[in-house]
Amino acid sequence: MSASAIDLAIVGGGLAGGLTALAVHRKYPELDVALIEAGDSYGGNHRWSWFESDCGPKGDALLGSFEAKRWTGGNEVRFPRHKRRLSADYRSLDSRDFDAGLRRCLPQSALHLNARVTALAPDKVTLADGRSIAARRILDCRDAAPSPHLTGGWQVFLGQHRRMDAPHGVTRPVIMDATVDQIGGYRFLYLLPLSETDLFLEDTYYQDRAELDAPALRERIESYCAERGWQGDLVHEETGLLPVITGGDFDAHREALEQPGIALAGARGGFVHPLTSYTVPIAVRTALAVADAVGGMDGPDLAGFVAARARDHWRSTGYYRLLGKMLFDAADPSERYRIFERFYTLPEPLIERFYAAKSSPLDKLRILSGKPPVPIRSAVAALLGKGAPLVQGDKS
């Protein structure tokens, strides 16, 4: 190992990689860390949100490094048969503010942008321009890729930040407005009031295929705004295709991506909420765990530590994959909203624990008790079925 090798190279500057770099730097400021990102900014083009109670004091301190939007006064959901206001306060972080926070909090030597990686070895990261970065430990947090070893469906969305000509009247986050037409799967609008006139609207679908018709979604958002008398200008837009994991061979999935001596984390390593794709609490917990462990581990030890956490996470989130199978394989696409409509009649603490992937045994029993929102025969068939491979465009 070269004497000039850095202590930790993190490949991939998205949410998982950026939070881990920051957590390690905060705990061990003397360590040399490199946060290596192929793009020209950290975080890509995303918005991440979470409930105030999700991350605990240490997680809140980590996230406090960023200029996140905060709402008090709770949040609400809207379904055809009922609407509900919940008391939990909400937080949201734009990737541009994530990028600014990392640039502000990490040393200049840690920032490696426009650095596309072509090869990883246990002690070296090779870049497309021919340079290499020697490192004692490497953490691979690059984006998740479609996997033939996992099954499920897709969460597809297009989000727009719009600046209205007059106050829009939305006073708190609307987590789901499912009173809209159900097209191709479970559809809802997600609303975040960024100011009296600025509004973030996201048109979201739980659908079978990884297909995003951006012009159609733009037109539907335009119609949603017109129905409410909202007029204004587009400030920013983002899109997403996220896997909703319902099953599969997790060991085979990891084996196809892992390299000996290199830790595999983030969504690529399976650290996601399999049903909601809600990542902030999981990314925070993983970042803090890596920061606590990294000081006493070499590269292979760190790889084994993260792999063990990934397997534990897979086992502990099996219940959410079961619910995902019910959603995709038991419910008619136009009726999928009924599953969430029923879910939002349950006690609020249960709902918060669900999103944070911390459901108790009693929570799990409560969610499945009572009259099921899908036919029993379809539910049984779904649970016995294999599911569709998570490969883009393939639902065969």
DSSP state of 142: P
Average pLDDT of the segment spanning 250-268: 94
Does residue 188 register a pLDDT over 50? yes
Does residue 66 register a pLDDT over 70? yes
Q: Which amino acid is at 124?
A: K
Query: Quick one: 37 and 121 in the same domain?
Result: yes
Count of CB atoms situated within 10 Å of the CB of 303? 24
In whole angstroms, give the CA distance from residue 217 to residue 159: 9
Would 98 be classed as within a structural domain?
yes
Average pLDDT of the segment spanning 150-162: 95
Tokens of 204: 């979201």
Q: Which amino acid is at 260?
A: P
Residue 273's alpha-carbon distances to 228, 307, 314, in angstroms, are: 33, 17, 9
Cβ-in-10-Å burial (0-12, 13-18, 19+) of 378 comes to middle
Note the pLDDT of residue 372. Answer: 53
Note the pLDDT of residue 20. Answer: 98
Which of 316, 331, 364 is the C-terminal boundary of a domain?
A: 316
Q: Pick from 382, 371, 381, 271: which is nearest to 326 by CA?
A: 382
In whole angstroms, give the CA distance from residue 25 to residue 6: 13
Query: Quick one: 134 and 184 in the same domain?
Result: no
The pLDDT tens digits for 206-254 are: 999 899 999 999 999 999 999 999 999 999 999 999 999 999 999 999 9
Note the pLDDT of residue 383. Answer: 44
Tell me which residue range forms the domain holding 229. Answer: 150-245
CB 292 within 8 A of CB 58: no
Query: Quick one: 308 and 339 in the same domain?
Result: no
Does residue 18 register a pLDDT over 70? yes
Would 170 be classed as within a structural domain?
yes
CATH of the domain at 216: 3.30.70
pTM of the predicted model as reported, rounded to 2 decimal places: 0.92
The torsion defined by the Cα of 18, 24, 29 and 32, in degrees rounded to 10, comes to -70
Query: Quick one: 190 and 222 in the same domain?
Result: yes
The pLDDT tens digits for 282-335 are: 999 999 999 999 998 999 999 999 999 999 999 999 999 988 888 888 778 888
The pLDDT tens digits for 355-385 are: 999 999 999 999 988 665 544 444 444 444 5
Would 306 be classed as within a structural domain?
yes
DSSP state of 269: G
Question: What is the count of structural domains for the chain?
Answer: 3
Query: Quick one: 176 and 57 in the same domain?
Result: no
Instruction: Report the share of the chain in percent with pLDDT over 90.
Output: 83
Q: Which helix (H) or strand (E) holds 241?
A: strand 232-248
DSSP state of 143: P
Query: Quick one: 21 and 96 in the same domain?
Result: yes
Query: Quick one: 299 and 357 in the same domain?
Result: no
Query: Quick one: 37 and 161 in the same domain?
Result: no
Which of 264, 294, 316 is the C-terminal boundary of a domain?
A: 316
Would 87 be classed as within a structural domain?
no
Would 358 be classed as within a structural domain?
yes
Query: Quick one: 205 and 112 in the same domain?
Result: no
Would 208 be classed as within a structural domain?
yes
Does residue 1 register a pLDDT over 80? no
Query: Quick one: 293 and 187 in the same domain?
Result: no
Does residue 145 register a pLDDT over 90? no
Query: Quick one: 25 and 97 in the same domain?
Result: yes
The pLDDT tens digits for 74-117 are: 999 999 999 999 999 999 999 999 999 999 999 999 999 999 99
With tokens 């899109």, the residue in question is 239
Instruction: Report the share of the chain in percent with pLDDT over 70.
Output: 92
Would 328 be classed as within a structural domain?
yes
Would 86 be classed as within a structural domain?
no
DSSP state of 197: S
With tokens 């206001």, the residue in question is 85
Which of 316, 336, 371 is the C-terminal boundary of a domain?
A: 316
Average pLDDT of the segment spanning 9-37: 98
Note the pLDDT of residue 395. Answer: 38
Query: Quick one: 13 and 56 in the same domain?
Result: yes
Confidence label for 388 from pLDDT (cuts 50, 70 and 90): low
CATH of the domain at 267: 3.50.50.60
Three-state DSSP class for residue 289: helix
